[in-house]
Structures are given as structure tokens and as C-alpha cells.
Structure 1
């Protein structure tokens, strides 16, 4: 397992980050605690050291499961969780305000069974809260010892800059990490988000490196989706953003990329997923890549993929077939270009 420094900090994180979104019993989480324990054990034995969670995953159950699993080895595991998403019906039950983040962090600590988290991340930008309030609140968490480092997820380049400037103005703690979507079929962050993160001292921990499973080769049609698949569940969701995300990742353009990636995988005697992950982990500015296995077998296959080194000519082919028509600056969650 390789390790790298996370942004402008002294924290060493493994190149593979274990995502715990599938731990629990929600509609899209199908990994029970017994299987989650096997996955975490194997991941840590392989040298991984960071587990990514969020308070919204399985309505908090994911944090509870992870907390129980790592209870007796807490000091050797980096826990990264997030706050922002709705935790109740009230007007202050979501967002990046001091009121909500304070309660959200305390609830996460309780579920995780720990008195601190190593990395606390803003799950997304909050236009309703002054960024100075958010950064001051996060700095207070660090000074109180409840949080070691802070980061953000799905921020645009401008939002990253605003947050870092706000931290500097108040003499507070800056972000050291960004969690964006990035893959062979979602390269939009290369335009300005990733370069801005690098310039402002944020290391990138990537989510959806296989484009929601599209790059694994599981999907061969835009309209006919495997029953029970994540794309099928999200497309059938009442949440418009979820449907838009699926449409951005699963279309004729992306299926064409997947077909070419499959050809390259066949030439190399490996899988499309392995090729996709190997290409991604060597991209400039990338610190760690989140994988979200549902089974121990899935984890082992993903870990093997990180041992693959692609020849330079293959990297060039992948760059060419996945190039977007334009790298215009867009939102950090957009996967449509």
C-alpha cells in the first residue's frame, strides 16, 4: 500500500480509502455488520488506514457500524466523516451553520463511539450560511480536540478559495482536503477545481472512481438497467439530483468510453475496473481514491487493481478516449460533460 501526505498537512493517508456508504440496511446499502467487519479487517491488513463515512449514510447506521468495528484499534485508523445533510425536519437541522454543525459533529462522535474524528468534511456548500461562520465553527472543533483536520466535498473552485480566504481572515484552520467526483467518465474537475485545490493546499480524496459502477462494465444500455443495481435505484428515486447524476454518468458517450476501456482491459488481461482505477490514481493532484465495496470479494478485486501499472501508451489512449469536449469550469458535482 502506498501513502501520501494529505494536502498542506502532516497527515499520511493510504492511496486507497475505504468508503463505508454501503454499510447498513438502507435502501441502497446492502452490507450487514458481519460482512462490513470482514471488509474493514481485510482493508486494514492490506495497509489501508482511512475510512470515509457521512452522517447521512444509512441514517447514521454506517457510523455506528464503523465505530463498533474499529473500537479496539481506534488510534491506528483515520476516521473521516461529513456534515451538512438534513438530520431532521427543522430549519436548523441541515447546512453549515454553527448550530447545525455543532450538533451534527456531536451526534457523529456519539455514533462512532469516539471523542474525535481525524477528518471532518463539509458535505457540500451552504449558500445560506456565511463561510466565515462555518470556518470559525470548524476551527473551534479543532481547538477543542474534537477534530484533527478539516476538509470539504463537492465545492467549486471559487468556493474553495472563499473558504481558505475566510480561514485566513479569522486566523483559523484551513481545509486540507477536497472530496470531488472524478473518473474516466467525469473529468470536469480538471478544468479549475483540481488545480485550485492544489494551489490552496487541498489533497483530493476521490469519490465514485468507477462512475457509479458504469466503468466496471456492468451497464450496456442507457435505458435497460440491471434490476437492483444502484443506477436503477437512483433513477427510480424521487430525488431529482439523483436522477440527473445517473443521466450524467450513463449515456451514449460514457458507454462508448466503457467499450474502449474494455478493449484495453482485454489487451492487458485484466478488468475494466482495474484499468480505470489504475489510470485515476496516478492523475495529478490525487491523494487517495475511495472504494465502496459491498462484499469482501469486491474489496479484494479493487485492491488488486491498485497494483496495476499502466504503460505510458495505454495512459495516452485512455486520456484521448475520455477527453471531454470542453473543460469549462462547472459545479463540483456535475458529471454531464
Structure 2
């Protein structure tokens, strides 16, 4: 496993990071989830990403139990706060001081840990003054409950203002967690340049576009049983934008590119996001332990300019680049 620095910090993270959105406490049984975590550790993954909203806290509980007994100093644990959790009352959401303070304590309790390495704003909260949010995150760091602070799906302007306030408060934002793949490139024109300017890395989710870039979804064919596209708990809604014959036909053009490199299409997709030098880590999930070993091999792959150009040509016409697709909720999600 290779490691990269997280933003302009001294923290190194495994460039393949294990994420448990839509799996732990939801799609897979707890014993299988534990097997997946053990497989990740065996593959050299030391960085694990979760969130309080995943399965309404159950994902954090399952991850903490699966990691119990591992030396804490050998792990990098990420979690997030923003979305409605718990009883989902009026203050059980957003980035208010109240919710951040209660959120970190509840997350640590579920994880069975004294601190997390990275605490992330899961979205931008348009209803809480940013000064309040940043001040609360700074206090979480000073209390030793989180070592670093990051965000998720923030725009370039939000990153700039947040970093300005954070530095004035004595800490820095070190990461942003956006969706990013060979099909979804909306961060490239604005967010990535701003992040490089500010010392912020990307920890990207959905590098294989919810499974579309594995090639398992075939044009003109029904979706496979048990796939993300059949998951009514959230997966089917995320993937439907790609399930058209035009996009699926273009994705199939990636297979000969992967074959020439003697890698799978999934490995090609993960290697593609890691080719961006502002990406610190690619988040991969798993519903079966063997998926971990396959995805980790992407860390060994270096894509040449010619290969990157061939990928662009294959997918041309189905690539989303509009920076406006990185948007904040217009009101706080309740």
C-alpha cells in the first residue's frame, strides 16, 4: 500500500481508503462487514471512513467493533457530521455548535474510540453562520477529540472562506470529500485549483461511479440482481444517472484499455482518480472481502498520458464536468 499526505499536514493516509457507506449496518450482515474490514487490514489499508448518518449510527458501531483490538496508533479513522441522525429532532442536524459537539461525542461512543483522526463537515450548512461552525470544529480539535478537520462537497468559494476562518482560529482544513470519477469530474475546474492553493487534498468517493465503471452494467440488458442499482436504500437513486445505453456503451470501450494493462476495469477506474495529484485517497467499499484485494491492486498501477487520453476518448460525451453540480443544499436537510 502506498501512502499520501492529507493536504498540507503531516498525516499520511493509505491511498486506497475503506469506506462503509451503504454497506455496514445496511446492505451486509455484521459478520461479513467484519470480514471486509479484516480483508482491508490484510491488504495494507490503514485508513477507514464512515459517518454518523450511515445507517443512523450503525455503520460507526460496526466499524468500531470490527477494528477493536487493533493498535489505535496504526489506524486513521474518519467520520462526519451534518445529516439528520438519532431521533432527528430540530437540532439533530446541520453544523451548529450544539450538533457538532453532540455529534463528535456520539460518534466516539459508537466507534469505541477516544478520538478520530479526521472529522468532516458532511455538507455545507447554509443555515448556520460559518464562523460558528469553524469555531466549533476548532474547539473539537483543541479538546483532542479530532486531530484534523475536513469537509465534503464544498465549493471553491466555501473552501476559501472556511480555510480563512480556520487559520484565524489556529487550525486548517486539510481535506474535501467530493464525488469524483472518470465520469464525474465536476471538481476539476474550480475545486481542485482552489484546494491546491489552500493546502487541501481530495478524499474522493465513488471512484468507480457506483459500480458502473466495472463494466458489469451492460447496455440493453437488465441490471444484475443484487447490484447497487437494485438497492432501494439509496444505491439505486445514485446510480440511475449512468444507466442509459449511451453511457454504458462508452464504458464498455474501457475494457480493451484495461485488458492491455492486464488489470480489471475497476482497477482502471481507481487508478484513474489516483492519477490526480490533488487526490490523497480513493474511497472503496465492499460487500464481499474479495472485492478489497481487487481494488487495492489499483495502487500499483500508473497510467501513462496515452492511457489517460484513451480513457477520455472512450467516455467523451458522457463525462459530467459542470462545476455547478457541486452545490450546497438550499436549506438545512431535516
The residue number in structure 2 matching 1:164 is 163
The 1:301–1:96 alpha-carbon spacing in structure 2 relative to 1, beyond 3 Å, is: same
Tell me how far apart the structure 2 counterparts of residues 145 and 128 of structure 1 sit (CA, whole Å). Answer: 27
Superposed, 1:82-231 pairs within 5 Å as 82-87=80-85, 88-169=87-168, 171-221=169-219, 224-231=222-229
Q: Secondary structure at the match of 2:44?
A: coil
User: Greater shift after overlay, 69-78 or 264-273?
Assistant: 264-273
Tell me how far apart the structure 2 counterparts of residues 328 and 176 of structure 1 sit (CA, whole Å). Answer: 24
Verify: 1:267 aligned to 2:260, yes or no: yes
Instruction: For CA contacts below 8 A with separation 6 or more, give which structure has more relative contact order.
Output: 2
> How far did residue 326 of structure 1 move?
7.7
Tell me how far apart the structure 1 counterparts of residues 297 and 23 of structure 2 sit (CA, whole Å). Answer: 22
TM-score in terms of structure 1 length: 0.89
CA RMSD across the alignment: 2.3
Tell me how far apart the structure 2 counterparts of residues 40 and 17 of structure 1 sit (CA, whole Å). Answer: 11
The residue number in structure 2 matching 1:329 is 323
The 1:242–1:232 alpha-carbon spacing in structure 2 relative to 1, beyond 3 Å, is: closer
The residue number in structure 1 matching 2:6 is 6
Tell me how far apart the structure 1 counterparts of residues 73 and 23 of structure 2 sit (CA, whole Å). Answer: 21
Tell me how far apart the structure 1 counterparts of residues 184 and 245 of structure 2 sit (CA, whole Å). Answer: 14
Verify: 1:47 aligned to 2:40, yes or no: no
TM-score in terms of structure 2 length: 0.90
The residue number in structure 2 matching 1:18 is 18
Contact 2:253 2:314 in 1 (8 A): yes
Superposed, 1:290-329 pairs within 5 Å as 290-323=283-316, 327-329=321-323
> How far did residue 58 of structure 1 move?
1.8
For structure 1, the 5+ residue unaligned runs are none
For structure 2, the 5+ residue unaligned runs are 329-334
Tell me how far apart the structure 2 counterparts of residues 242 and 271 of structure 1 sit (CA, whole Å). Answer: 23
Report how many aligned residue pairs link the two structures: 325
